[in-house]
Structure 1
Amino acid sequence: MKLVLVRHPQPLVAPGICYGSTDLAVAPEQLEQTWAALRLPADLPVYSSPLRRCAELAARLSPSPRYDARLAEMHFGAWEMQPWDAIPRAAIDAWAADMVHYRPGNGESVLQMAERITAFYGELDGDAIIVCHAGAMRLLTARHAGLAPADMALQAAQAAHQIPYGSTLTL
């Protein structure tokens, strides 16, 4: 199965803000630049996170994208839309000590996200384009490599991502 993962354009959010499942818009020029730069296979189904920063791009790629909430970015609970430097150091340290199971801001753990990504992946029945987030891309890559959810979460949590906005990754 060939998957083409596409990261959304840069959202409209101030630098240094924690965001995950918050539904953020994208500047129209960013959307246009990303869409114009993409070179994707024709005639593949397009799946997308329902969050605007993905959904707007998916709507450009297909007349009928399939939106799936399981592709949304991780939910950071009370940390959502807070400046990273305003989040108590003890809470960040607790997350760093258990990146797989800890629920930042009492939101979602990386393991919980890995489980929903695994459920989505299990329903795919062929090649596809998937418009999603850096976290989902990392977990989909781990799942495509055959890892189980706990191992997916551990792999995704071990290193900071280097996935640019608007980039693609083919699996």
Structure 2
Amino acid sequence: MSAFILHLMRHGVPQGAGRLLGHLDAPPEAEGVAACVGRAQELVFSRVVTSDLSRAMVPGALVANERGVTHDVDARWRELHFGNWEGVDPADLPGEALARFWDDPDGFPPPKGERWADLQARVAAALTDWTDPALVISHAGAMRAALSILCGFDLRQAWAIDLPYGALLSLRLWPGERLSGQIIGLAA
């Protein structure tokens, strides 16, 4: 089977930007939606996939409608669940607990939150059996998990990549027994 392109786009600016939104359904700001729609205009893809959170779904539905392609909603592309930290400004959290989390999100997940390995498992399951060019509008954590899975990045490498709102990451993927990928573009 031949290689294909997978575009991963982080949703645009949501209401409550800067907070740990995770699974909170923070609606997108109008400029965030416009940024995603504008960025998608030059891309080639046969379908749009989004998480089930409105900050990803709203621009995804508009892009799919504009292009006349399928829009699939898949909750596995959600952001990491921040548990008790959902909706909190990181500056308001205990510095030591936050530092432990950023250093080892499997060993020190947010209270009642999701471990990094759980996010990776969700994203890995979402990536199975892909053989066509697609645009996924998702979240920074899910995009980093995809990089880890497809390109073999360790935690520090994946988290070191700057993915601001509206960032676009394009990967060339090779389907097969183990899906693998190569970064071909990053636009922040």
TM bracket, shorter-chain basis: 0.7 to 0.9
86, 110, 114: which one aligns with 1:80: 86
Question: In 2 relative to 1, CA 89–37 (structure 1 residues): closer, same or farther, beyond 3 Å?
Answer: closer
Matches of 1:124 and 1:52, distance apart in 2 = 24
Question: In 2 relative to 1, CA 89–167 (structure 1 residues): closer, same or farther, beyond 3 Å?
Answer: closer
- The answer to whether 1:169 aligns with 2:172 is no
In structure 2, the residue matched to 1:31 is 33
Matches of 2:77 and 2:147, distance apart in 1 = 13
RMSD: 2.1
Amino acid in the other structure paired with 2:86? E
131, 138, 141: which one aligns with 1:135: 141
Matches of 1:119 and 1:152, distance apart in 2 = 18
TM-score (ref. length: structure 1): 0.83
Structure in which a larger fraction of residues adopt helix: 1
CA drift at 1:74: 0.4
CA drift at 1:153: 4.5
Structure 2 SS opposite 1:61:
helix
In structure 1, the residue matched to 2:60 is 58
115, 122, 130: which one aligns with 2:121: 115
Matches of 1:79 and 1:126, distance apart in 2 = 37
CA drift at 1:109: 0.9
**Does the CA contact (< 8 Å) of 1:142 and 1:152 recur in 2?**
yes
Matches of 2:80 and 2:34, distance apart in 1 = 26
- The answer to whether 1:2 aligns with 2:8 is no
Matches of 1:127 and 1:5, distance apart in 2 = 11
TM-score (ref. length: structure 2): 0.77
Matches of 1:167 and 1:89, distance apart in 2 = 27
**Which runs of 5 or more structure 2 residues have no equivalent in the other structure?**
172-188
| 1:149-170 deviation line (CA, Å, top 9, x unaligned) | xx6546434x3x4112222111
Question: In 2 relative to 1, CA 135–14 (structure 1 residues): closer, same or farther, beyond 3 Å?
Answer: closer
CA drift at 1:95: 1.7
| 1:25-60 deviation line (CA, Å, top 9, x unaligned) | 112233124312432115x11111111110001101
Question: In 2 relative to 1, CA 46–96 (structure 1 residues): closer, same or farther, beyond 3 Å?
Answer: closer
Structure 2 SS opposite 1:104:
coil
Matches of 2:88 and 2:110, distance apart in 1 = 12
Matches of 1:83 and 1:120, distance apart in 2 = 29
**Does the CA contact (< 8 Å) of 2:13 and 2:31 recur in 1?**
no
**Which runs of 5 or more structure 1 residues have no equivalent in the other structure?**
none
Question: In 2 relative to 1, CA 50–14 (structure 1 residues): closer, same or farther, beyond 3 Å?
Answer: closer
In structure 2, the residue matched to 1:11 is 14
Structure 2 SS opposite 1:66:
strand
Amino acid in the other structure paired with 1:132? S
Amino acid in the other structure paired with 1:2? I
CA drift at 1:97: 4.5
